[in-house]
Structure 1
Amino acid sequence: MKKIFPLVFSLFFVVFTNFAQEKKEAKKTQQGHIDQNKFRQMKDVLATPNDQHTASGAPGHQYSQQKVDYLMNIRLEESTNIIYGDEKITYQNNSKDHLEYLWVQLDQNMRADDSKTPLATSGGAAAFITPNNFQSTYMKEGKGFGFNIEKVETNDAPLSHFINRTMMRINLPKALAPGESFKFRIKWNYKINDINKDGGRSGLETFPDGNNNYTIAQFFPRLAVYDNVEGWQNMQFWGRSEFALEFGDYEVNLTVPADHIVDATGVLQNEKNVLSKTQRKRWEKARKSFDNPVFIVTQEEAEKAEKVRASGTKTWKFKAQRVRDFAFASSRKYIWDAMATNVNGKTVMAVSLYPKEGNPLWEEHSTRAVAHTLVEYSKLTFDYPYPKAISVHSERQGMEYPMICFNFGRPNADGTYSDRTKKGMIGVIIHEVGHNFFPMIVNSDERQWTWMDEGLNSFVEILAELTYDSELFATNPAKKITRYMGGDQSNISPIMSQGDYVKQFGPNAYSKPAAGLYMLRKTIMGPELFDHAFRTYSKRWMFKHPTPADFFRSMEDASGMDLDWFWRGWFYTTDVTDIAIKAVKSLYLTDKPSERVTKLKEQYKQYFEGLGDLVYITDKKEDANASAMDSYANGKEVPSFIYSVEFEKPGGLVMPIIVELTYEDGSTERQTFPAQIWMKDDTTVKRVFASTREIKSITVDPDFETADVDTSNNSWPKKQADKFDQFKNKVKG
C-alpha cells in the first residue's frame, strides 16, 4: 500500500497536469476574475471586529451601553381618552464619548396631523372608499393625535430641545462626560387612538356597551440607543420598523378609574391598596398553582363590573428593573387569571387579562400558552429572568413589550371558534410572549434589522408550538417558504435589508429567517450542535445590544462550523435552492479495460505496473462481468449495480444534497452530501452509488428540507407529471 498511493498520485498528477496545460494554452487570452465562490469568507461584508464586538461574536472587554431610569406619574382620563404623563429621566453615560445632546423617541407623532408617514406611501385613487376614509384622506380632517410636549426642563429650568417629527433632540447645557449622568423632566399628554378605527400598535378598543379596553405602549418619550455601532439610533419611526431602546429601572404610578383592573411591566407594589381581600387571596393561591390557572377576577365579576362606572380613581404602582420599555393594560371588563410556572426551579407567574368576548377560548388556552412559552424558550436560550409574563386580549393586536403583550384571537359571538381561530390565538400568544427573549432581553436593533427579533423569535416559536400541539401546528417551514422565494424577484428583498423598504415584509422578516434557522438545526448542523450555539449566542447577549455579525459569528464560534456560505446566500441574497438530477448512467464491473484506459496504460506503463491487479468500470453492458471482483471480495457480496449520478444546480444557493435511493424490493436508503460538495464546481457535481440491489428510483430532498423551489427535476426516472408541472411553472413565471 505504501507504494501504490504515490504511484496513483503521480499518474493522476501527470495526466491532469498535461490536461491543465492544454486548457491553459487554449485560454491565454481570457481575463482574470475576483473570487465569487459561494464558500468565500464574509470578511467583505461583516463589520471589522473590535474590543466591543469581537471576532468570536461575543461582547468584548470594552463593551459598554447606556442606562436610562424612569420615574413616571401617568394618568388615564377615560372621559376624554387622554393620557397625561410626567416623567423624570436619569441618563447614565457609560460610553467613552462626550455627548453634546440626547435623542428621545416620540413614536406617537407618527400619527400626528402633520405626520409625513401618510405621504410616504405611493398609491392611486381607489374605486370605492368609506366616507370616514374619504374625509381623513381627502378632506384633511385632523384627529389631534401625537405628543403635546408641555415641559422639558432640568433642575426646574427650561431645557433647550428641538422636535424633528418622531425624534426630539435634548440640547445639553454642557457635554456629558463618560461616567456622568444627567437628570431631566418631560411633561406631556396625548389623545389615545382607537386601534380598530385609527390603527396603531397600541391604543384602545371600544365595545358596544360603552367600555374601553386600553392596551397602552409607546406612550411616553423614550431615550434612543447610543452605541459604538450606530452612534445615535435616531432613524425616524415610519410606523413599521420597531424600536431600539436602552435598559434601565422603572418606577411608574398609573392612575386609572377606580373600577379598572390593571397590569403592567414590573411588580405591583401596592396590592393592598388596589386589590380586594378576595383578589389578594386568590392571587396567593395562583402563586402556588402550577397545574391550572386560578381566577383572580371571574367572568361573572367582570360582567358585573362592566355595567357600572366608578367616579373615583386608583393609583397602581409598579417597579421594574433592567427592562428596555414599559407598557400597561387597563379596563373594567377584564377577567383575570394566573398560574405559577416552574422555570428551572424559579417560580414565574403566567397571567392573562381578557374581556368576556375572548371566552371560552382564552380561559382554556391563554395562560397555559404563556407558561408553555416560558418553559420552552428557556430550554433553547436562558432561564426567563423576569417575575411574570402577561397576555392581554385585544381584537386586532399582536404586539410585545417586557413582561406584557397584546394578542388577538376572538371566538364568534356565540362562543364557538374554528381550529384556525384557535391556532391563530395560541400562535400569536406564543410569538408575542416569546418576544420577551428576542428583543426584550437579547436587545437587537429592531429599527435596522427586523429579522433579528422577528425571525429568531418566529423560529423558536415553531419549536414551542410543536410541543404545545403537534397536530394543530404541524408544519414544514422550508417547504412553506418556497412559494415566496420562487416568486417575482423584483418583489423580493434580501433578509439583510432595513425594514422600512423591505418588500413582502412578513416572509422577509419572519418566515424566511425562521425557515433558514429551522434548516440549519434540522438538516445542516443537527439539533445538538445548533442548540448549543444558539444558546451560546443568547446567553452572551442577554441585556445587551447584538448586531447581525455577532449572531453569525457566535453560531460559528460555538459550533466549529464554517457557515459563511449559508449566511451569505440565505441572508444577503434572494437566490433560491434548486438542485436537480441532471443525468443517471448505469455502469458495470468488467475485466476489460476501455480503449482510453488501454492507451493510458501504454503511455504510463511504469505507473500502472505499480498498481498491481485492476478491475474496470464500463458503461457498455455487453462488456459487463459481475464476477470481476469476486476473487478480491474476501467472501463479501460485491455490488453489481453501479450508477453514476450527475446533479446540477439551476438555483443560486448551495445546499446539502439529500438523496433517497429506492430499491426494487421497495426498501429505501438515504445519503446526505454536505453543501461543501459544491465548493469546486458551482454548477454540477457527480456521485457514484454502488449496490447489490437494483435501484428503482432516485429522489433529491424527499422531505422538502432545503426549500427547493422546483421539485419537478428532483426525481429519476422523471415523473409523468413533470412536463405539466414545468408548463405550469413556465406560465406562472
Structure 2
Amino acid sequence: MKFVQNAAMALLLCCAASKMVQAQETDTNNQSPFMEFTEPNGNRYRTATGRPGPEYWQNRTDYEIRATLDDEAHTITGKLTLTYTNNSPENLDFIWMHLEQNRFTPTSRGNLTTPIQGNRYNGDIDGGYEITNLKASVKRGSSSEHIITDTRMQVFFNEPIPANGGTGTVSMDFNYKIPVKGMDRMGRVDTQNGTIYAMAQWFPRAAVLDDIEGWNVIPYLGAGEFYLDYGDYDYYITAPSDHIVVASGALQNPNEVMTATMRDRMDKASKSDSTVFIVKPGEINDASLKVKQEGTLTWHFKMENTRDVAFASSKAFIWDAAKINLPSGKTALAQSVYPVESKGDAAWGRSTEYTKNSIENYSNMWFEYPYPVAVNVAAEVNGMEYPGVSFCSWKSKGKDLWGVTDHEFGHNWFPMIVGSNERLYPWMDEGFTTFINYYSSEQFNNGEYAGNLDQTRNRVNWYLDPDSQGIETYPDVVDIRNLGMTAYVKPATGLLLLREYILGKERFDNAFKSYIKTWSYKHPQPNDFFNHMNNVAGENLEWFWKGWFYGTGTIDLGIENVVPYQGDYVIILSNKGDLPMPVKMSVGYEDDTSEIIELPVEIWERGNDWNYLLETDKRVKTVELDPDKIVPDVNFSNDIWPVATYSK
C-alpha cells in the first residue's frame, strides 16, 4: 500500500474514519453466534454448573473372572461372575451386556458395514463367543433367559434388581478363538520366539445405563470405542508356564509365577528411576527364569475402581520396569514387554522411559495417576489404550514410539479416569488426549519429540474442504479420512485455543483440572464439560462451543484498513468467517517498539465490522493479527496491515 503523502488524502481518510465510527453505532445485530447453545438449566442429576447433581447416580460392575489361554488352539476359555449394583431410580428386569468378540463373525454388523476396500477396522471373521451356563439371579432362584443380537446380549433376571442400590449377579462360561486381526485394538502376532497375545474386549462386559440415553447399546462396529461403568476386578489368567503375563492392576501372587531372580529385579525396578531388566534379551529361553518347565501357571491380578482390564501373554517377552514418581509421594511401576525384534535404544529399549515420563507429566500437570502399574505392550496393534495397559506397534521406533506411547497412556485420563462415552463422543477422549499430549511432548527430554499441534495454520485446507465434517459426527459414520481431524486434531486445537488464546493458561488450567477432578470415575456428557468450563473459567463460551465443536464454520478475522483520526488512528477490523474470535493484534511503531492489544469477542455481537480507536503519539508502522499464529484463520492475506506511516 502506498504512503499517504498529502494533506488532502489524509483529510479524506480522516473523514472516512469519522463516518465509520458513527456508522458503528447503528450496525446490525449479530446475536446468532452468541445465542445459548448448551443446556443451561440443571436438574437433580446434572447441575447447570456442569457438576453431578445431588441425585446423580451410576451403576457399579464388579467382576470375578477365571480365564485360560490355549496357545495351540489360540482360544480363551473362561468363567465370569458379575455383581451388578443398580443405583438407578428404577427397578431393572434385565441388563444389557457387550459381546464384542462377536464382531469377528461373517454376519456381524461391523463386518457387513465395512467397505469392500477395507479400513483400519478390518477384523477376522472366524471368531465369536460361545456362551454357556448363563445364570442371572437377584435373591432366590435364577434365570438363564437371554437374547444375543450381534455384539449385544440382553440378560433377564428371575425378579427385578431393586432400584437405589439393589444387586444382582450374572455368571456364565465363555470361549472364543482369539483373532489375529482384532480391528487394531487386540489380537495376536507371531514373532521369532513365540506368539504375542494382546487381549482386550476379552470377556462379556455390562453396558452402561445412564440418565441421558438409558441403556447404551450401540453395536460395536469399528471406529466407535467403549463406554463402561466402574467396579473392582479380581481375575486369574492361566497361561502356558513359559509365558509372561502382564495386565491391568496389581499382581497378587508373584511368588507363584516369578522366580526369586525376577522378583529381586522387580524390587530393584520399583526403587529405580532408570530402567531395570526383569527378563533380559538373552534370557527369553533361559530355563532358570521359569518357575515351571511345563504345564501352566495362573497369574492373579486385582484392580479397584476401574472401568475395564486388559492383559498380554507371550513366551517371547523381554521385560523391563522402572519407578513412577507421583506428586503425592506415592509410586507406581512402569513396565514394558516386547520381543527381541523390538529391542534397542532406538526402539522399545526406551519404552519404559517413555511410559514413566508420560505418566509423571500428566500426574503433575492435571491429576494424579491412580493405578499401581502402567504397562506398555509391543503388539500387532498400532495403538490402543486400556486402564494401566497400552498396546503399541512392535515395529515402532524413536519419535513414533514416543508419540503412540504418550498418546495411549494419556488415555488413562480420558476416558479411563474421566469416563466419557467414547462410542458417541470420541472427541471427549481422543481430542482431550491429543491436547494433553502436546504439552507432554514439549516437556519430555527438553522437547526431544516436540509436537506441532500449535501449528494450526498448517491444517487450514481441511477447514476449507467442502467434504470436512464436524466434531460431533458419529464415529462409525464419519468419513475415515476425516476421523483424525474430527476426533483428534480439531477438538485438541479447540482446547489449545482456549488455553493459549481465549482464556489464558491460569484460567483454563483451573477449569480443566476442576473438570477432571469433578468427573473422575463418573460419566460426563458434552454439556457437562461445556457448562463446567463456562462456570469455573467465569466465561460465557457458548459462541465457541457452538462454532468450533459443532459444525464446519471457519475463522477469518481481517484488518480492512488503518487510518488517522483526530490525531490518533482507527484500526478497521472485520469478521468474514462463521466463527467470531477475540482479537489479539500486535501494533508496531516507527521507533521499533510494539505493543499487544486485545479486544474481547463481544465486539462482534453487534456486527461483523469493528473500529478500534488506537490512542498514541507514535507513528504506526504495521498491525498484525494473531502474532503468535495460534488461531487457524483461513485467510492469511488480511492478517497484516503493511502501511508504514501517516503524518499526524
Q: Is TM-score (shorter-chain normalized) higher than 0.5? A: yes
Tell me which residue corresponds to 1:70.
63
| Paired letter, 1:332 | K
Matched, 1:692 2:611: no
Relative contact order, higher structure (CA 8 A, sep 6+): 2
**1:315-371 Cα deviation digits (max 9, x unpaired):** 001111111001001111111111112211111111111112222134542112212
SS in 2 for 1:315: strand
TM-score by structure 2 length? Answer: 0.89
Give 1:95-110 correspondences, 5 Å limit: 95-110=88-103
- In structure 2, how many angstroms separate the alpha carbons of the residues matched to 1:210 and 1:150? 35
Does 505-514 or 472-481 show the bigger shift?
472-481
Q: Does 1:701 align with 2:646?
A: no
Change in 2 beyond 3 A, CA 1:199/1:572: closer
Spell out the pairing of 1:458-497 with structure 2 (5 A cutoff): 458-469=434-445, 470-477=447-454, 479-480=456-457, 482-483=459-460, 485-489=462-466, 491-497=467-473
**Is the aligned partner of 1:296 residue 2:289?**
no
**Pairing 1:113–2:96 present:** no
d(CA) in 2 for partners of 1:443, 1:525: 25
Using a 3 Å threshold, how does the CA distance of structure 1 residues 498 and 46 change in structure 2: closer, same or farther?
farther
The reply to whether residue 166 of structure 1 matches residue 144 of structure 2 is: no
Which residue of the partner structure matches residue 237 of structure 2? 254
Question: Structure 1 residue 672: deviation in Å?
Answer: 1.8
**1:369 counterpart = 2:347:** no
Q: For residues 39 and 217 of structure 2, what CA distance do their matches in structure 1 show? A: 22
Whole-angstrom distance in 1 between the partners of 2:572 and 2:341: 60
Query: Aligned ranges for residues 337-376 of structure 1 at < 5 Å?
Result: 337-344=320-327, 345-360=329-344, 361-376=346-361
Match of 2:562 among 570, 581, 584: 584
Partner Cα distance (2:142, 2:228) in 1: 27
Pairwise CA distance, 1:440: 0.7
The 1-side partners of 2:380 and 2:228 are apart by 27
Please name the residue that 1:590 is paired with: none
Instruction: Establish whether residue 434 from structure 1 lines up as the match of residue 417 from structure 2.
Output: no
SS at match of 1:318: strand
* Structure 1 residue 664 corresponds to structure 2 residue 641: no
In the alignment, residue 102 of structure 1 is paired with which amino acid? I
Shift, 1:223, TM fit: 0.1
Report the equivalent of 1:190. 176
Pick closer, same or farther for the CA change 1:381–1:307 going to 2, 3 Å: closer
- 2:331 is the alignment partner of 1:331: no
Match of 1:677 in 2: 603
Q: Is the 8 A contact 1:482 1:708 kept in 2?
A: no
Task: Determine if the alignment matches structure 1 residue 532 to structure 2 residue 504.
Answer: no
Task: Provide the alpha-carbon RMSD of the alignment.
Answer: 2.8
Residue of structure 2 in register with 1:645 after alignment: 571
Change (3 A) 1:263 1:480: farther
CA separation of 1:274 and 1:250: change in aligned 2, threshold 3 A:
same
Structure with higher Rg: it is 1
Letter in 2 for 1:658: K
Q: Which has the higher helix share?
A: 1
Query: Is this contact kept in 2: 1:105–1:167, CA < 8 A?
Result: yes
Please, which of 427, 432, 436 is the counterpart of residue 451 of structure 1?
Answer: 427
SS in 2 for 1:652: coil
Secondary structure at the counterpart of residue 250 of structure 1: strand
Q: Which of residues 377, 384, 397 is equivalent to 2:369?
A: 384
Q: Secondary structure at the match of 1:439?
A: helix
1:281 aligned counterpart, secondary structure: helix
| 1:306–1:149 distance in 2 versus 1, CA, 3 Å | farther
Identity of aligned residues (%): 36
How far apart are residue 497 of structure 1 and its match?
2.8
Q: Hey, what's the Cα distance between the residues in 2 that align with 1:48 and 1:554?
A: 13
Q: 2:201 aligns with which of 218, 224, 228?
A: 218
What is residue 40 of structure 1 aligned with on the other side?
Answer: 35
Cα deviation, residue 651, structure 1: 1.0
Shift of 1:663: 2.4
1:319 maps onto 2:305 in alignment: no
Instruction: Give unpaired runs (5+ residues) of structure 1.
Output: 1-14, 25-32, 412-420, 588-616, 618-639, 720-733
* Alpha-carbon shift at residue 36 of structure 1 (Å): 4.5
Distance 1:430 1:480 in 2: 24
2:172 alignment partner AA: I
1:112–1:144 CA contact under 8 A, matched in 2 = yes
What is the rounded CA distance, in whole Å, between the counterparts of 1:218 and 1:456 in structure 2? 23
Q: After TM superposition, give the deviation of residue 409 of structure 1 in Å.
A: 6.0
- Alignment-mate amino acid for residue 343 of structure 2: N
